[in-house]
Amino acid sequence: MHVLIVEDDPVLSDGLKRSLRKDGHAVDHADTGTRADQLLAVHPFDLVILDLGLPGLNGLDVLRRMRLRRSITPVLILTARDSTDDRVAGLDAGADDYLAKPFDLPELEARVRALLRRGRYATSSVIKHGSLTLDLVGRRAEVDGEPVELSARELAVLEALLLSAGRVVSKDQLVEMIFTTSEDVGANAIEVYIHRLRKKVEHAGVEIRTIRGLGYLIDKQLHD
C-alpha cells in the first residue's frame, strides 16, 4: 500500500513513517498543504493521513480539492482540532475517519487497517493462490499454514501481483506501487525482488512469469 502522510510536525511524521514502513507500506511525506495537493494531483495513493493545520493550503482545502478531482482515496484526518464542528467539517469535506491528537500509535494502526478493510479490500483481506495465502491487512504470507519470510518490499511486490492475478503488471506499475516518489529506483530493482519472490513461493504451486516487453504475471503452476 502507498500512503501519503501530510503533517508538518517532523517528530510525529517520522514516527508515522517508521510505523507504516515497518508494516511494508511505501510512505511519502508532505509538510505543507500545497505540496500535498501537488502530489495528490499526479500520483495514486492508497491512503492519505492528513493534518488540518498546515502551511500553505489547509487540510480541509487539500481534501476538498481531492474530492473535486473525483479521488476516492480513503482519508484519515489527524489533528489537534477536536470540537464537534471540526469533526463535522472534516467528514462533510470527504474524510473517511478522524483521529484527534494526542493519540496512541496502536489506535492509528487499527484505524488504518479498518480503512483498508472498508475500502480496497472490502470483499476480503485474504488472497489465496494455490497453497499460498496473503493477509493484506495483517501483512503476512503463508504456504500451507507455514509463514513465508518476506521483506517489506518483497511483500509489497507479491501484494501487487496477487491483486492483479491473471493480468500482467508492468515494471513501471510495480515501481509506482511500492516505492516512494523521492526514491531513485535502479532499473533492475524490481527484477531483484521478483527473483527473490520466485525462490520463496515456487513450492506453493505459484509461478511468477516474465512477459517479455510487458511485465510480470502471477499464475498457478501447470502440471502435466
Q: d(Cα 64, Cα 102) in Å, to the nearest integer?
A: 25
Task: To the nearest 10°, report the CA torsion of 44, 46, 50, 56.
Answer: 0
Q: Domain coordinates of the chain in residue numbers?
A: 2-118, 126-220
CA distance 172 to 73: 21
3-state secondary structure of 185: coil
Report how far residue 68's alpha carbon sits from residue 36's, in angstroms, rounded to the nearest whole number.
Answer: 15
What pLDDT does residue 185 have? Answer: 72
pLDDT of residue 124: 59
**What is 2-118's CATH topology?**
Rossmann fold (3.40.50)
Is 2-118's fold the same as 126-220's?
no
C-alpha distances (whole Å) from 84 to each of 12, 16, 87 are 24, 25, 5
Q: CB count, 10 Å around CB of 56? A: 16
CA distances from 125 to 107, 130, 137, 168, 195 (A): 19, 17, 6, 21, 26
Order of all β-strands in the sheet with 132-135:
126-129, 132-135, 140-143, 146-148
Q: Per-residue pLDDT for the chain (224 aa), expressed as one digit of tens each?
A: 789 999 999 999 999 998 888 877 889 999 999 999 999 998 888 899 999 989 989 999 999 999 999 888 999 998 887 777 878 888 888 899 999 888 898 899 888 877 866 655 545 578 888 889 988 777 889 988 899 999 888 888 898 888 888 889 888 888 877 787 777 776 688 899 999 999 888 888 888 999 988 899 988 655 44
**pLDDT at residue 181, rounded to an integer:** 74
**Helix segments in 96-224, DSSP class H:** 105-118, 152-163, 171-178, 189-201
Say what the pLDDT of residue 11 is. 94
Q: Which helix (H) or strand (E) holds 207?
A: strand 206-211
Give the per-residue pLDDT at 117: 66
Query: In the prediction, which pLDDT does 186 show?
Result: 67
* Of the options 3.40.1360.10, 3.40.190.80, 1.10.10.10, 3.40.50.620, the CATH number for the domain spanning 126-220: 1.10.10.10
Residue 131 backbone class (left: φ over 0; alpha: ψ -120 to 50; beta: rest): alpha
pLDDT for 37 equals 95
pLDDT for 224 equals 41
Q: Distance between CA 88 and CA 74 in Å, rounded?
A: 17
